[in-house]
Structure 1
Amino acid sequence: MADATGELLAIADELYALDLADFTPARDARAKELKGTDLAELAKPVKALRKPSTAAWVVNLLVRHETEQVDQVLAVGAALREAQASMSADELRTLTKQRRQLTAAVTSQARAVAKDRGLRVTEAVADQVAATLTAAMVDEGCAKAVRSGLLVSAIEATGVDEVDAGAAVALPEALGFAAAPREAAPRSSAPAARPKLEVVPDPEAEAKVRRAAEERLEAAESELADARSGLDEAGEEVSRLEARGLQLQAEIEELRARIAALEEEHDALDEELAEAEDTRDEAQSSVADLTRARDAARAALDKLGG
């Protein structure tokens, strides 16, 4: 059973390392292939492997191609959780800041890695990737899920509520499994034989150089356009947050003014209450005096009548 589990994890590791569009056909082909082998029992669980969401695929890609960065994220997360447990305030503040910086940087790197594989990561997907990395830093189970490289969905965790990290991975056994790192471009195990070279003038050399320069310029302009777009988005977000901040400040000032008015009204009410209590006490005293006078008059009248 242990060997079968190991084989299943190895197969899953291969499948979840593929491009997103290739996952389903490769999974189905592998399940069909297994049916005629000694590992036929794995055909059904392989067929049942779920296709990852786009955000999960990006994180899985990052785990395999930027393993050192992911390990750094998880190490900072472990240190952060330890600092929280020991209530080291200074270290906690430092690690929290580092966590945010790392999350932003690694999310940006994830977008670049995905772009190299032909997938443009939207802001919504990037937010899910960042949330998953944050979850890995604040929750140990989520860290194991991320490091497995077998995510099927993004994860969210606050570090307070319990998270079912097992629901986010392809297999329950994935928690504790570590995805095998991949190189960006596979290298041949043996160097290729050198061809015999002859110096031949290239009549299109100048044109090729020009085309190469034009391609570099086009790539630079594209990157600049992306950067400007990102700057515009960031500027819009700053403006939105500044406007919201001004709105909140105005609401705070309005509430402070309302509180001051209520306090003033309360003070005036205290004075009126004191005066009313004095008037009531005087009235009670007058009623008591008049009651005694009436009782005395009645007694005198009764005596005369007798």
Structure 2
Amino acid sequence: MCRFASVPNDALLEAADGLYGLDLPAFTPARDELAKSLRAEDRPLSDAVKRLRKPSLAAWAVNLLVRREAEQVEQVLTVGAALREAQTNLDGDELRALTRQRRQLTAAVTTRARSLASEQGQRITPAVAEQVEGTLTAAMVDADAAAAVRTGLLVSALAATGVGELDVASALAVPEAAGFTATPVVEQPPTPPDLHVVPDPDADAKRLAAAEQELAEADAEVERARQAHTAADADVEALEARSLQTQAELEELRRRLAELEDTADEIDDELTDARAVLASAQDDRSAADSARERAAAAVDRLRG
């Protein structure tokens, strides 16, 4: 986490407010130019401006939404505050109604954010849209996240997991910005071109430097995506192997079960036959016992 203890918060927040309201490609060159212009008169402020991080695409989209659609964002945050109060009061009916409203609002406002970004030449993919909606949801369920969204100074998306406290400070360009509210952007009619503007002789170099930095960041993102893809591919291969092994074991168990069922049927048949033989033997034994008793009685009579 960056610390700006030696820099006046008002000056840094004013600088950050302007920078994070710019189009995404303009951020880095504008930040570097501002830091350069401040270096002679205010070195600590210049250093602090230079350390301001470029926002992720999702964070930039939320910052844009806060400045261009402040009323919609405030509506989202107001419903979030009511939702937190309902949770505290354990009002089940109100909680269910507010939860449905929360989902509808975040989806609608995320769609608006995608439209605004498209107007600025930035395509919001479904994955980035999920991060935007996740940030709005976090702002509804967490008061600190709501305050962070209001600043318009996000550098990364927020996500409320429900486990532990939400790390809001690390998602802000200026961690001490709690309570700050982004300056709304009011659309101005286009101004006539100034025919007396002298071209910046360093414009090409600046554009090249900005493009090179964009390329470096894109390369880093590609590498992260490649590593994630490799890890996911390895997981899939391992799980496929386990699945095949499990299926083979399952087939063997099914075969063995069928054999045992056949054996059980054979034993049942043999048991039925054995019980019939036992019953016949018992009858024969009873008849033999009766005949012996009669013979013994006859012998006793003759001897007597």
Between the aligned partners of 2:127 and 2:190, the Cα distance in structure 1 is: 38
Q: Which residue of 1 aligns with 2:134?
A: 131
TM-score relative to the length of structure 2: 0.59
Residues 87 and 2 of structure 1: CA distance in aligned 2, closer, same or farther (over 3 Å): farther
Larger RCO, structure (CA 8 Å, separation 6 or more): 2
Q: Which residue of 2 aligns with 1:152?
A: 155
Q: Which residue of 2 aligns with 1:174?
A: 177
Between the aligned partners of 2:179 and 2:43, the Cα distance in structure 1 is: 25
Spell out the pairing of 1:37-186 with structure 2 (5 A cutoff): 37=41, 39-183=42-186, 185-186=187-188
Between the aligned partners of 1:161 and 1:3, the Cα distance in structure 2 is: 31
**Structure having the higher Rg:** 2
Q: 1:13 aligns with which of 17, 26, 39?
A: 17
TM-score relative to the length of structure 1: 0.59
- Are positions 1:26 and 2:56 aligned together? no
Amino acid paired to 1:134: T
Amino acid paired to 1:76: V
Amino acid paired to 2:94: E
Between the aligned partners of 1:159 and 1:138, the Cα distance in structure 2 is: 9
1:16 shift after superposition: 0.3
Q: What are the superposed Cα offsets for residues 14-50 of structure 1, whole Å, 9 maximum, x if unpaired?
A: 000011101011001000100122x332000100000
Amino acid paired to 2:30: A
Structure 1 runs of 4+ off > 6 angstroms? none
Between the aligned partners of 1:147 and 1:111, the Cα distance in structure 2 is: 18
Aligned residues: 187
Structure 1 gaps, min length 5: 190-306
Q: What are the superposed Cα offsets for residues 85-139 of structure 1, whole Å, 9 maximum, x if unpaired?
A: 0101111011000000000000000001111111111101001000000000001
Residues 44 and 23 of structure 1: CA distance in aligned 2, closer, same or farther (over 3 Å): same
Between the aligned partners of 1:36 and 1:137, the Cα distance in structure 2 is: 43
Identity of aligned residues (%): 59
Structure 2 gaps, min length 5: 192-304
Is residue 158–residue 171 contact of structure 2 (8 Å, CA) maintained in 1?
yes
Amino acid paired to 1:80: L
